[in-house]
Amino acid sequence: MTPPPNGVASQTVRGPVSLVRPPQGRTLWSESWRRFRKHRLATVGMVVLLIMVTAVLVGPFVYRVPIDAIDFKAKLKGPSWAHPLGTDDLGQDLLARMLYGGRISLAVGVAAMLIAIIVGTVIGATSGQMGGATDHALMRLTDLFLSLPGLPLLLLLVYLFRDALKKVLGPEMGVFILVVAVIGGLRWMPVARLVRAQFLSLREKEFVEAARGLGAPPLRQVVRHILPNAVGPVIVAGTIDVAAAIIAESSLSFLGLGFPPDIPTWGRILFDAKDNLDFAPHWAVFPGTAIFLTVLSINYIGDGLRDALDPRRVLSSRKSGDEAVTQAGSATDA
């Protein structure tokens, strides 16, 4: 146990902290935003991603071509005025399909990220806060999950549970929940490690000690004092998880084991297109580029967020603050 802080300190802690407001325009978040905008490519990534999201959300209402209108006269045509991104082997309009499918691709990414973050935070926080045997057991579990082969296991799970879930929830919802749960369930480990590491260092910091000394129960210490300070790295990890989840879903669909053909996610379109590469390259290139641009933007945003959310990093002299910037792919693993 840590000794309680002396009386003087505990009296002064209470009042001023809640009364003093940070000066206008210099809150933690506006400061982070300012730092984020300094990262030029991250800002570009943000704009590109916003355009994609808007297109996918609003697009189907503006561009009202049905996704399943079969027209054999116009099959496998390249881009034209009638079909801006061309058509597939049934003459279905690719732009309409990509706008619709993109919703699902992005939704899978975000939902799987949320699962990974929630599971990872709960496990990491429990582990870091409880310590001892619980900590040991949970970390062994994390290590075990880290050495599971991702995609093969994903394929196995989808193969085993797909039909059962389809029966219960319908083809679209069933596959969606399965894919999201499995991808999220196989990606929480880095977050758990990250949160645990944060907890281990934060729980010994003076302000947590102060809270403890003032009699805050453990749950309040965690929720009010430790978690908010551990949130930065989690946000960064979450951002990169969205990209990873989008790739995972696309890989599944690309192997023909994700969503059924009537739900044209980007990966699924690629799967259908890959046997017609020689006479309809546009069919594969557009959805592939969409995946690539989304993932690239998200990765750059993650990079920018890492700069923005670490207040200790000095940005003005880039050289000194650089070394930690560079591990985008697995910032979460480090």
Partner 1 sequence: MSKYLLRRFLILIPSLAGISLILFIILAMAPGDPFEELATNPNVPPEVRMNLRHQFGLDDPIPVRYVRWFVAMAKGDWGFSFVSRVDVGTLIMQRLPTTLWVLGLAQLLGLLVALPVGIYSAMRPYSLFDQISTTFAFIGFSLPTFFTGILFILFFSIYLDWLPFIYRADIGGSGWRWYWENIRQVIMPVTVLGLFQGAAMTRYMRSAVLEVIRLDYINTARAKGLSERVTILKHVVRNALIPVVTLVALQIPGIFTGAVITEQIFRVPGIGSLLITSILANDTPVIMAITFVFSCLVLLFNLVADLLYGWLDPRISYR
Asked if 152 is part of the footprint of partner 1 (rule: CB under 8 A), the reply reads: yes
- Interface with partner 1, residue 318, by CB under 8 A: yes
Number of residues engaging partner 1 in binding (CB under 8 A): 57
Q: Would you say 50 or 164 has its CB closer to partner 1? A: 164
**Residue 163 in contact with partner 1, rule: CB under 8 A:** yes
CB count within 10 Å of CB 99 equals 24
CB of 41 vs partner 1, minimal distance in Å: 8
> Would you give the DSSP letter of residue 72?
G
Q: Is 136 in the site for partner 1 (CB under 8 A)?
A: no
Q: What six digits make up the tokens of 18?
A: 């809640």
Structure tokens, 55? 């297109």
Q: Which of 2, 12, 27, 327 binds partner 1 (CB under 8 A)?
A: 327
270 makes contact with partner 1 (CB under 8 A): yes
295 lines the binding site for partner 1 (CB under 8 A): yes
Q: Which two tokens stand for residue 117?
A: 């973050």
CA 213-214-217 angle, to 5 degrees, is 90
Q: Is 132 left (phi over 0), alpha (psi -120 to 50) or beta?
A: left
* Side-chain-side CA neighbours of residue 176 (13 Å): 18
The answer to whether 119 contacts partner 1 (rule: CB under 8 A) is: no
Q: Which of 13, 76, 110, 153 binds partner 1 (CB under 8 A)?
A: 153
Q: Could you say which of 149, 170, 228, 261 contacts partner 1 (CB under 8 A)?
A: 149
The answer to the question of residue 228 lying near partner 1 (CB under 8 A) is no
Comparison of 210 and 305: residue with beta carbon closer to partner 1: 305
For residue 210, the cross-strand partners are none
Question: Distance between CA 250 and CA 104 in Å, rounded?
Answer: 10
Which window, 99-107, 122-130, 161-169, 216-224, contacts partner 1 (CB under 8 A)? 161-169
Other CB atoms within 10 Å distance of the CB of residue 3: 7
- Is 137 a binding residue for partner 1 by CB under 8 A? The answer is no
CB of 15 to partner 1, least distance (A): 43
Q: Is 311 near partner 1 (CB under 8 A)? A: no
Nearest to 259 by CA among 187, 184, 158, 186: 158
Task: Considering the complex, state which of residue 54 and residue 330 has its C-beta at the smaller distance from partner 1.
Answer: 330
- Coil, strand, or helix at residue 93? strand
* Residue 108 lies near partner 1 (rule: CB under 8 A): no
Question: What's the distance, CA 233 to chain centroid?
Answer: 12
Find the shortest distance in angstroms from Cβ 10 to partner 1.
Answer: 40
| 107-133 per-residue burial string, b: 16 or more CB within 10 A, e: under 16 | bbbebbbbbbbebbbebbbbbbbeeee
Please give the residues from 230 up to 269 whose contact with partner 1 meets the rule CB under 8 A: 243, 247, 250-251, 254-257, 267
**Range in contact with partner 1 (rule: CB under 8 A) among 57-65, 82-90, 114-122, 158-166:** 158-166
Among residues 40 and 224, whose Cβ is nearest to partner 1? 40
Which tokens go with 310? 């670490």
* Bridge partner list, 93: 87
Q: Please give the backbone phi and psi of residue 93, each rounded to the nearest 5 degrees, phi first.
A: -75, 125
Q: By the criterion CB under 8 A, which residues form the site for partner 1? A: 143-144, 146-153, 155-157, 159-161, 163-164, 243, 247, 250-251, 254-257, 267, 270, 273-274, 277-278, 281, 284-285, 288-289, 291-292, 295-296, 299-300, 303, 318-319, 322-330, 333-334
